[in-house]
């Protein structure tokens, strides 16, 4: 009966030969054994080549040679069927090859005395005789704990840090007139349109220039249509700059 020294292994054997991959119970890394060619397959290949040669002769000469070729071919088919069903000879070879594969690969595995897992070199604490899950390596565990503590300290400092002190308020970022970025001022950097928010006369909520109804209470907002800031004094007709409250020429209140 075949017994694996590790529960995790894969049989990669084919009709032509034998090979196995053994895996670590913790990390899953695998070690593949050396491929061993099947002698029964080699013998069957010789018979198949002979069968093909006799069949060619039978096709050429006919008669008894042809019958002989048919008989040999039939015998070759029987051998092929045995390979398909894994013959007793193949099974014996397979068992020997599996034992050889275990002896070859077992040098890379260790059995943990704590959890009974078979683990590779990287997951074995040779000083304690156990896997790193049962007995972590001290230097590695300390380094990991320090790294986790450092991350916690950084996260805590980030939570309490003040990284911005500006006022949080609604602001129009795209000009409703020209559709371009507005900048940080009260008027569009591109066309000079007024960017101040409309204040609802009913609830006092601030709304952007392009809306016609208050987003808080639904009250109609008069004068909500965006208008570019090109204005003139009603008294003297002088051009008014954005933000002017009195005419610079005649002093009329705007």
Instruction: Map out the domains of the chain as residue ranges.
Output: 9-139, 171-254
Residue-level pLDDT at 81: 43
Distance from C-alpha of 33 to C-alpha of 94, rounded to nearest angstrom: 13
Report pLDDT for 57.
Answer: 46
Mean pLDDT: which of 45-54, 58-67, 89-98, 220-229 is highest? Answer: 89-98
Query: Does residue 24 or residue 55 have the better pLDDT?
Result: 24
Residues in CB range of 126: below 8 A, 6 or more apart: 110
Confidence of residue 170 (pLDDT cuts 50, 70, 90): low
- Per-residue pLDDT band at 167 (split at 50, 70, 90): low
Mean pLDDT of 17-39: 92
Confidence of residue 56 (pLDDT cuts 50, 70, 90): very low
Give the long-range contacts of residues 11-17, CB within 8 A, separation 24 or more.
Answer: 11/98, 13/94, 13/97, 15/41, 15/83, 15/90, 16/41, 17/41, 17/97
Mean predicted confidence (pLDDT) in 60-64: 47
Predicted TM-score (pTM) of the model is 0.44
Output 211 or 109, whichever has higher pLDDT.
109
Looking at residue 59, what is its pLDDT?
A: 53
């Amino acid at each position: 009966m075949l017994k694996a020294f590790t529960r995790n292994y894969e049989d990669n054997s084919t009709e032509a030969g034998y090979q196995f991959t053994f895996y670590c119970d913790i990390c899953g890394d695998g070690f593949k054994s050396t491929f061993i060619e099947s002698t029964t397959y080699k013998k069957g290949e010789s018979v198949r080549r002979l069968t093909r040669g006799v069949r060619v002769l039978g096709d050429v000469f006919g008669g008894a040679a042809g019958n002989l070729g048919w008989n040999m071919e039939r015998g070759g088919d029987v051998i092929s069927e045995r390979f398909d069903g894994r013959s007793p000879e193949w099974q014996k070879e397979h068992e020997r090859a599996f034992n050889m594969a275990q002896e070859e690969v077992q040098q890379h595995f260790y059995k943990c005395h704590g959890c009974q897992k078979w683990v590779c070199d990287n997951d074995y604490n040779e000083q304690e005789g156990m896997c790193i899950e049962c007995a972590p390596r001290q230097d590695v565990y300390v380094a990991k704990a320090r790294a986790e503590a450092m991350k916690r300290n950084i996260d805590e400092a980030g939570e309490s840090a003040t990284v911005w002190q500006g006022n949080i308020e609604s602001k129009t970022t795209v000009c409703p007139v020209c559709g371009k970025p507005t900048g940080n001022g009260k008027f569009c950097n591109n066309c000079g349109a007024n960017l101040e928010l409309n204040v609802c006369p009913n609830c006092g909520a601030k709304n952007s220039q392009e809306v016609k109804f208050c987003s808080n209470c639904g009250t109609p907002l008069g004068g909500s249509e965006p208008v570019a800031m090109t204005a003139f004094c009603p008294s003297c007709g002088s051009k008014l700059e954005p933000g002017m409250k009195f005419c610079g020429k005649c002093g009329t209140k705007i």
